[in-house]
Structure 1
């Protein structure tokens, strides 16, 4: 069935960047009217959030370095322990490949690493052995996002995502489609008893779907004749736009929307069939939100759908960086990107007291926790309300996070006297770290968020 023109326009809009901020603002307006269904909001605490974020920025950065805070991208997680692992990798490629291939390889790595960055759980860690045993080097273990990043980096370097043993440092469609589950289990150092990882099979299935997506979209991912289909080949597609458009000084100008479109369209097949769809077209990270649904809405109305595209935006932020630093790309309309609706940013709002679950939802979430705690392998520590990703509580929380982060960023800029600080810098400097730090104080055993989302390895 071919969608009608109006339906086609709706699908296009809901899969766009402007839809994220637009629909989140509808939810925030309900909050200002005291009409949220699942949370109470104390707007007097908004400035407390900004002050806490600023205090951490001033603690972690010298005054002259604050304007140079790097953007919040996946590349930051590879640097854990103050080791420039990606820089070392790029340096090792210099004598072998040109700058375009270097950038393709980094995009290959970023795409799989972002896709593997779903919640890992509170018990999983990744062990990194030292390059040598001299000078007191010791084996170190990393958890959560940093652990997942280092695991993906190790698997990339080992060639687990490549179909060509002579070109191990690449990700290609055949390598992903033929990836054995056992290879992923080994790469993540998973032991179901000692080192369990949430959603391992979900991640494996996601990578196989990525392989199929690459095959379905040669317009973005095909390289030269007979070259394998790779995520990194989008570099050539995007760089062509910059080459075809007027340059600013020595910069190649590329629309942020162009990169986002490659990610939304080119990776559409990665979303599970359970995700929201319209006329058979998957909308991705888009969900119905009962908070903004009109009581008189038609059964087929989409007015209450809220778009997040967290994964797609996280990937967009992350891919922008190497194209900017290596290929001199300047990104046009980058302010269309929003804050990321994930549990560190959202958890900060709850832990500060800006948002509080309504009592009935708190009780329901705790009942969910108790039910989940009875399952094998679930630790019964630090009881927190628990919900499925599609639960109305989670959807309302994520929408409020997007809209509130815009306001926090405004206050942070004012407090620092830096009007040009980007949202990506505020996130990095920033709200994400603040969410992690306050979680470690509030829940020292797990350092997890104040609300738990039951992860299957496909929610980011």
Structure 2
């Protein structure tokens, strides 16, 4: 029998990438035994889900293009409408700054944009004014709208404290950001264009500024998210190169993200011995009734935001700094409502009747609040509800299995999980949601967002 972990070792484990997959697999094993608390699972339908994803990939990509599907990162959302906005921005920088500064700026942008990518709600949109890329104004919602709003605010210098260096994000700029400035940047109108969790997003960005000040070892000189580029590049330059590329461990980047941004999490997140664990939650499906009250064996880490950020930071460093990522397969599928919604909409997972009834009661109570649209009734739960935790854990484990089936059906054994997410499951979840709930295009289970759950 292995010796018990110390508190320090337990914290390190729960904040690690392997723990995400290992604990999700424990929940999936309970599902296979028919012992989930909140969902019933129809395992034969897993193949139907994979077929749906494959059909979507084949519809949207020529056979020769499938192997070149880009990874699922925040950068994809900036290109909505087939406009290479980041490419144009990089071109505008090239004559004035060196490559490493270009990457720092892209990382600055990615970090704030990922942090602002919580659920926006069904009514909010962001209007892009006519410019050289589009002749008429056009409005975008959800992830793409949030991405373009964050890009516009970044270009306007709303996250910078230096008027001579607008295209950066720094600690003082974030700490001095006002709620009114963020509201204006998001084009929020409380009645006509409300955004869920606006104050939560504002507090999150201000806490990001605090995190930057707390970790000069990653972000120093001046305190910017993009300065992690130098920290990571040093690791690559200190190790043997491979094919003229600098090899950096994916775990090293993830550690910068998980530790360097630890202060962003609100006090309500799970803590252990006074240390915030971030996106880690107790899951009753794997809880041992005989375990001690202080046991963490039933804690399930997701680190969805941290993984989404890691995926998104990897891309510019790989493209511009010639970095090759080692152990990138440790990253998991993302437990968010598009991937998870796909599993419910296609019948792989079904809420147990008593949970369905409870979720609908939650929806009814929420619908009585001012400004809530009474359309397309779906079960609704708080982010910390055991239903949501079980759903997210099953999503992580099931995405691995979908990826295996997708590779098999496409005969592309080297297709990465990030490519399967981008070309398949995330888009499939969005598409089936639009068919199932055409008014809101929302998920089959609603989460009461406070702007800090991703």
Note if 1:333 corresponds to 2:327. yes
CA–CA distance in structure 1, aligned partners of residues 72 and 345 of structure 2: 21
SS in 2 for 1:254: strand
- Distance in 2 (CA, whole Å) between partners of 1:136 and 1:408 is 37
Aligned to 1:309: 303
| 1:156 maps to which of 135, 149, 154 | 154
Aligned to 1:437: 431
Q: What TM-score do you get using the length of structure 1 for normalisation? A: 0.97
Give the 3 Å change call, closer, same or farther, for CA 136–398 of structure 1 in structure 2.
closer
Match of 1:86 in 2: 86
Superposed displacement of residue 108, structure 1 = 0.0
Q: 1:343 aligns with which of 337, 344, 349?
A: 337
1:137 shift after superposition? 1.1
CA–CA distance in structure 2, aligned partners of residues 183 and 170 of structure 1: 16
Where in structure 1 are there 5+ consecutive unaligned residues? Answer: none
Whether 2:452 is the aligned partner of 1:454: answer: no
Deviations 1:298-322 (A, max 9, x none): 0000000000000000000000000
Q: Which residues in structure 2 correspond to 1:399-410 (within 5 Å)?
A: 399-410=393-404
- Within 5 Å, give how 1:267-416 maps onto structure 2: 267-416=261-410
TM-aligned CA deviation for residue 204 of structure 1: 0.2
2:220 is matched with which residue? 222
Q: How far apart are 1:266 and its partner, in Å?
A: 0.2
Q: CA deviation at 1:295?
A: 1.1
Matches within 5 A, 1:76-155: 76-132=76-132, 137-155=135-153
Counterparts of 2:108 and 2:62 in 1: how far apart (Å)?
34
Q: Which aligned pairs between 1:35-74 and structure 2 lie closer than 5 A? A: 35-74=35-74
Q: Return the match for 2:208 from 186, 207, 210.
A: 210
Structure 1 residue 239 displacement after superposition: 0.2
Equivalent residue number for residue 425 of structure 1: 419
Q: How far apart are the structure 2 equivalents of 1:178 and 1:376?
A: 31
TM-score between the two structures when normalised by the length of structure 2: 0.99
- The 5 A counterparts of 1:149-188 are 149-188=147-186
CA distance in 2 between partners of 1:250 and 1:98 (Å): 20
The unaligned stretches of length 5 or more in structure 2 are: none
- Match of 2:278, SS state, is coil
1:263 paired with 2:257, answer: yes
- TM-superposition CA deviations, 1:6-44 (whole Å, max 9, x none): 010000000000000000000000000000000000001
**Residue 137 and residue 393 in structure 1: after superposition, are their counterparts in 2 closer, same or farther (change >3 A)?**
same
1:5 deviates by 6.9
Q: Is the aligned partner of 1:8 residue 2:8?
A: yes
Residues 393-440 of structure 1, C-alpha deviation per residue, up to 9 Å, x if partnerless?
Answer: 000000000000000000000000000000000000010000000000
Specify the alignment match of 1:33 in structure 2.
33
Pick closer, same or farther for the CA change 1:165–1:408 going to 2, 3 Å.
same
Shift of 1:249: 1.8
CA deviation after TM superposition for structure 1 residue 136, in Å: 7.7
Query: In structure 1, how many angstroms separate the alpha carbons of the residues matched to 2:125 and 2:369?
Result: 21
User: Which contiguous aligned blocks of 4+ residues in structure 1 show a shift greater than 6 angstroms?
Assistant: none
- Give the SS at the match of 1:43: coil
The residue number in structure 2 matching 1:24 is: 24
Describe the superposition over 1:64-107 as per-residue Cα deviations: whole angstroms up to 9, x where unpaired.
00000000000000000000000000000000100000000000
Distance in structure 2 (CA, Å) of the matches to 1:255 and 1:376: 49
Shift, 1:130, TM fit: 1.3
Work out the CA distance in 2 between the residues paired with 1:17 and 1:355. Answer: 25
- What is the alpha-carbon root mean square deviation over aligned residues? 0.9
Return the alpha-carbon distance in structure 1 between the equivalents of residues 294 and 283 of structure 2. Answer: 14
Structure 2 SS opposite 1:141: strand
